[in-house]
Amino acid sequence: MESPSPASARFSAAPWQDAPVATGGESLFVIGDVHGCTPLLAAMLDGIAALAPPPRSRLVFLGDLIDRGPDSIGSLRLWAREQPVPGIDRVHRLMGNHEQMLLLACGTGPDAMAAQELWLSLNGDTMLAELRAAAGQPEAPPGPALLRQALGEAVPARLRAQQGHLRLGNLVLVHGGVDPRRPMQEFLGLPWDALAARPGHWAWITHGFLDWRDGFDGQVVVHGHTPPAKHRAISGLAEPVGLAEGRLCLDGGSAVTGAVAGAQLEDGRFRLLWSHAA
As annotated, the active-site residues are: 98
Which residues, in sequence order, are bridge partners of residue 173? Answer: 166, 222
HSE (side-chain half, CA atoms, 13 Å) at 45: 23
CA distance 143 to 221: 34
HEC string for 230-254: HHHHHHCCCCCCEEECCEEECCCCC
Sign of CA dihedral 104, 64, 170, 235: negative
Which residues, in sequence order, are bridge partners of residue 176? Answer: none
CA distance 111 to 195: 8
DSSP H/E element including 157: helix 154-160
Cβ 264 vs Cβ 47: under 8 Å: no
φ, ψ for residue 229 (rounded to 5)? -65, -45
E strand residue ranges, 90-137: 91-93
The amino acid at 264 = Q
φ, ψ for residue 228 (rounded to 5)? -55, -45
Classify 229 as helix, strand or coil: helix
CA distance 70 to 4: 10
